[in-house]
């Protein structure tokens, strides 16, 4: 999360307009508590960052949380389909950057979508539209 007066790393001029006043947070669970997002978009190739606790917190905040684990290969995905569906009781909107097999949960078959098949500029534009 980008905040004004960030104590480490600074903020370049491209990110400065999006920096908000607030405490500098680096723990994803604390950031979710502060921001209360409806969606998480993972695109940094930092595998397993959307932990069970993160997924459950998103579900507690949202009736249908949006979780896009777009990094690939599969080993870099922020979470897998099993965790995403089982820890939200199948209520989330989920997309991945890698192909995951269909997932059977409580007799219902879920088909994880692959949401990264577009040009990088389109992802950038999509991300900016989510911010606005």
What stretch of H or E contains 3? none
| CA–CA distances in Å: residue 43 to residues 73, 78, 91, 109 | 11, 8, 22, 26
| CA–CA distances in Å: residue 11 to residues 7, 45, 61 | 10, 21, 29
At 6 the pLDDT is 78
> What is the per-residue pLDDT across 3-56, written as a single tens digit (0 to 9) for each?
887 777 778 888 888 888 888 888 999 999 988 999 999 988 888 999 999 999
| Gap between the Cα atoms of 132 and 112, Å rounded | 27
Task: Name the nearest CA neighbour of 111 among 103, 99, 119, 122.
Answer: 103
Output the pTM of the full model.
0.78
> What is the per-residue pLDDT across 81-128, written as a single tens digit (0 to 9) for each?
999 999 999 999 999 988 888 999 999 999 988 887 655 555 555 555
């Amino acid at each position: 999360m980008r905040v004004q007066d960030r104590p480490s790393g600074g903020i370049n001029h491209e990110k400065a307009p999006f920096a908000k006043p607030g405490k500098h947070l680096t723990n994803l669970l604390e950031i979710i508590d502060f921001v209360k997002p409806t969606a998480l978009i993972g695109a940094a190739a930092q595998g397993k960052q959307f932990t069970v606790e993160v997924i459950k917190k998103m579900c507690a905040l949202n009736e249908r949380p949006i979780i896009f684990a777009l990094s690939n290969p599969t080993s870099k995905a922020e979470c897998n389909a099993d965790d995403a569906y089982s820890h939200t009781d199948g209520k989330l909107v989920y997309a991945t950057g890698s192909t995951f097999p269909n997932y059977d949960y409580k007799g219902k078959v879920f088909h994880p979508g692959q949401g990264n098949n577009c040009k990088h500029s389109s992802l950038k534009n999509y991300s900016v539209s989510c911010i606005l």
